[in-house]
A and B are shown apart, each in its own frame.
Chain A
Amino acid sequence: MRPFEFYSAQSASQAVVQHTKNKETHYLGGGTNLLDLMKEDVKRPEHLIEVADLPYKDIKSTSEGGLALGAMMSNTHTANNTEVKNKYPLLSMAILAAATEQIRNMATNGGNLLQRTRCPYYFETSMPCNKREPGTGCGALDGENSKHAIFGWSESCVATHPSDMSVALAALNATVVVQSENGESRRIPFTEFHRLPEDRPEKDTTLSDSELITSIELPKSEFPTHYYYLKVRERSSYAFALVSAAVGLQLDGKTIRKAGLALGKVAHKPWKLEKVEQFLIGKEATKEVFEQAAELALQDAKPLKHNAYKIELAKKTLVRALLQATSRS
């Protein structure tokens, strides 16, 4: 590990000011991703600002009747919080599908959103990767890409975003609240928080260099009953998804009144299915309708050399998650 300077910030504004002073500066939350990357020499920060102890470790009600999740709260506390479990069980389910208990104990909500891709080319410093080292090329594009993106990739990057929590947040129409350099706070709709790689894959989000996430806001509870997070993976726990689906439904008898849907591990960002959400409104919650929805969801998918199977897998995953959500009561 390379030597670095370490600061412990006392407030969000102090952290942001400190961050603007030097290049190669990183915020440190739970460290479950950043410390690994530093040990592997992938990330080489010269300055670390610890933000894990800043006072954003609780859950508050919002004036709109939703919840604001503290950015420094642990994934474990968030998933097991009674209000979250009652009003946003989809979020609990997604968080608990991720990593291990020990990692979730350390991981913060803000950090979860900012975790880097698991693309092996990003991790191996001797291989090309535009995300790690802009201009070196994308090793996965012509290399091994069986677990890579089927939506929104570019010639410069075919990586996927690994977070489970973020897939549920996309389905739930969350908003990310950040502290900006100018001292103001800024609100970013979840779908606009992560970005597609285009020609700047080194940038995962629309945050400016020194902005710090302080909370994640959830709108008034919409899917407390009919929800499901289905994570398809190569072992039953402690594995990143091949494909995942976060599904929330509002049902009136068999009729769908509202849907919140997103796919995970299919793109550089959680893949919100807005068109499919619209399609489902007013339809009957049946397998046939869900299969039509899945066709619609995947119609623009574009496979790479090794990952065409993910298109079929994503369809089946979405259908299965919708059926599971429907049958819950």
Chain B
Amino acid sequence: MKDQTKSKTGASVNRLEGALKVMGKAKYSSEFAIDNLAFAQGIQSTISAGKITSIDTSLAEKQEGVIKIITHENALKLKGYGGRFEEPDTKSISPSLQTPDVHYYGEYIGVVVAETFEQARYAANLVKVTYAKSEPKFIFDEHLDELYMPKEINDKAKTNTQWGDVEKGLKDAYKTIDVTYNTPVEHHHPMELHNIIATWEGDKVIAYASTQIVAHAVKTIADTFEIPEDNVRVITPYVGGGFGSKLQLREHGTLGIMASKMIGRPVQLTVTRHEMFTAVGFRQHNRQHMRLGADKEGNLTALSHETSAATSTYEEFQEPCGAISQTLYNTPNSLVTHKLMKLNLPSPRWMRAPGEAPGSFALESAMDELAYKLQMDPAEFRIKNDTQHDLSVDKPFSSRQFVECIRIGAEKFDWKNKWKPTPGHTKKENWLVGYGMSGSSRQSPYMESSALIKLKLDNDKVQVTVQTDATDIGTGSYTIIGQTISEYLDIPLEQISVELGDSKFPKTPGSGGSWGAASYTNGVKVACDNAISTLKTLASTSEDLSVIELMKKADLTEFEAKGTAGPTEEFENYSVYSFGANFCEVWVDEYSGMVRLEHFVNVGSAGKILNPKTAYGQIIGGITWGVGQALTEHSQVEPNHGNFITRSFADYHVPVNLDLGKIDVIFLPEDDYIANPMGVKGIGELGITSIAAAIANAVFNATGKRVRDLPITPEKIMKTKIEVA
């Protein structure tokens, strides 16, 4: 039997699809050459609130190649629209073009279908729209009196949670802080544009759609067009990043599918980079009021985390910023609240580490501020307040190596020798050098997931094909699924073919929320286990023979097995989280206020790392996101018109390589089989959590300036005053 050590889980295997991607042969959803394909281009509103009074399409219709122009006047009537805000089912329905109402600037109010993309785009510019404007609201500070507490947040999470008495805890504290942090609107901007190609045959539709969750896209399409789910096929073999923006198929999906149905031809609608600022969601602006208290020894006496944010006028969404404040530290008195206002902006949505990304910036900055007040080492302050029990749900953690992450990170970074409690302690020429750290955690969900494996005996070799509707959003799903098969069937990777992203394959929860890897691989493992046990029965043996021997013995040349895995009762009795710690060194130019990230050390404890190579990549990507959150990313709303005036990559600044410096990623070994049978935890969100806080804390250590509004731009460094310790 050949040893598969190098291709099993835990090995740094190169991406199975890497060569295809490099050669441009990995087919993304917009790259399927469908016969007779027509192209659609959306028309967007140019007011923030009001009603369309007329749409003149006459000039546009006369242009060469134009097939049809669809507006609310002639669109297919879809069910489920009736004041979207109150509609409970809207999370699976994406109605569009159903009324003349305009909710935000850049809303799709029509679509032009033409023979070519260029013709569609040109004609879209010729459509003349007149409006009856109403008074829009889009400036957060002007509507603070309209804040309300939503019934639930983030899909069934509690709005308010508390224990003990925070006011008393603050009163009894030796030192307290009371500060407010702001994080701006940020956009996901995956490299691959959102896209759909729709083609109908009778009442059946095939959609090549860039989506993170195939089964969800199927349900959305079926619900919106009132056809059975069996009539919908969604295909998405490769996804060029999603970061939450592709969890749901949104209005562009509806428009593409509707257009195809109306013209009786396949239609492609690709959302442009500019439209991605309004069409596919974003992270909402969050204002977080933090009040913390601690006793003389550095034990937290109170932790209050109150968040205000804005949702759209037509859909309620709030990310759970305060959640991390009730799981990361031990506090006898806790208060977490969330409030919303409704603004004429597009709906915010889930974006990488929804809740934790902004929430951890507030919490881990506040912890840092309190540590300075207590004159304690910020790393020791965090260790002091560790808890092995999840106070928010009164359950033990399945495993928690938070303190180990901090200790090992501090050692690797040489924290004890570098960090000093006096800001501005180190200067190198024109650079102020500072050090900062933060702790992090993120829930690691585990969901029901199925897979089908097909074995074929061929020239004395077993060829394996595995099929699931899982998606590879750039994270390495193909590779880790291949490695799982290689491990549990003991077959080399070269004989394994992984097929993903098709709704005709067995269901998974898709990629998102750090649940993908753990869920898929356990489903695939069960399919492997089922294959072996069934083969043993068919071969009438109880010996541990190889797959090939079992197939021969059972006289089989082909064989299939299915498997489904999912959380057990034991899983529900624990809180399952990944943990981490971050340490960084920044250099701040005393003249310009430009911040340079010199060195970043990230330590994570996240169960079994299936493939260190792809996992490091994911964490480095997460850190890069955190650098963007900390230093560069900011979508600005125009104060008189309500549109995003950061409208391309030229002005929405994601970090570039030169912004990053040296990054070290360390994973601690961790066996946690409560999390799931393979002991896998998610890392997709952990990578970004608390990164911005570590950088902001280092900027404070360098300059004595506490910039509480992200991003930390040269302008803000210039405007912020040095704080007296």
Contacts and interface: CB of A to CB of B under 8 A. Distances in A.
Nearest to B124: A41
Contact of B645 (A3, A144, A233, A239): A144
Interface string A232-245: 11111111101000
A142 B594 contact: no
A319 B591 contact: yes
B122 A2 contact: yes
Contact of A313 (B647, B656, B658, B714): B714
A164 to B, nearest CB: 14
Contact of A124 (B593, B647, B718, B719): B647
Task: Give the dominant DSSP class at B's interface.
Answer: loop
B154 interface: no
Question: Chain A binding site: helix, strand, loop or mixed by DSSP?
Answer: loop
B380 to A, nearest CB: 34
B459 interface: no
B174 to A, nearest CB: 38
Interface in B353-368: none
A320 interface: yes
A121 B638 CA distance: 10
A312 interface: yes
Contact of A234 (B645, B648, B714, B719): B714
Contacts of B714: 232-234, 242, 313
Contacts of A1: 118, 121-122
B592 A316 contact: yes
Given A124-B647, A242-B715, A237 B656 contact: yes
B643 A124 contact: yes
Contacts, number: 96
Interface in B570-590: 589
Interface in B610-667: 631-632, 636, 638-641, 643, 645-648, 650-651, 653, 655-659
Q: Which of A120, A126, A235, A312 has the largest number of chain B CB atoms within 10 A? A: A235
B640 A139 contact: yes
Given A309-B718, A312-B718, A320-B591, A236 B640 contact: no
A118 interface: yes
Given A2-B125, A236-B658, A118 B650 contact: yes
B643 A234 contact: no
Contacts of B594: 232-233, 236
B646 A120 contact: yes
A319 B122 CA distance: 49
Q: Which bracket fits the contact residues of B?
A: 35 or more
A146 interface: yes
A127 interface: yes
B591 A317 contact: yes
A123 interface: yes
Contacts of B74: none
A232 B592 contact: yes
Interface string B582-610: 00000001011110100000000000000
Given A1-B122, A2-B122, A239-B653, A234 B592 contact: no
Contacts of A282: none
A214 B347 CA distance: 51
A128 to B, nearest CB: 9
Contacts of A144: 636, 638-639, 645
Contacts of A319: 591
B122 A3 contact: yes
Contacts of B651: 118, 120, 240
17 contacts: A121-B645, A124-B647, A127-B638, A139-B638, A142-B640, A143-B638, A230-B592, A232-B593, A234-B631, A234-B632, A234-B714, A236-B659, A237-B657, A242-B714, A313-B714, A320-B589, A320-B592
Interface of A: 1-3, 39-41, 118, 120-121, 123-124, 126-127, 139, 142-144, 146, 230, 232-240, 242, 309, 312-313, 316-317, 319-320
The 8 A-B residue pairs whose C-beta atoms are closest, nearest first, are A126-B46, A236-B658, A120-B645, A320-B591, A232-B592, A316-B591, A237-B656, A235-B653
Given A1-B121, A1-B122, A144-B639, 10 more contacts: A3-B122, A40-B274, A126-B641, A127-B641, A232-B592, A234-B632, A234-B714, A235-B655, A312-B718, A313-B715
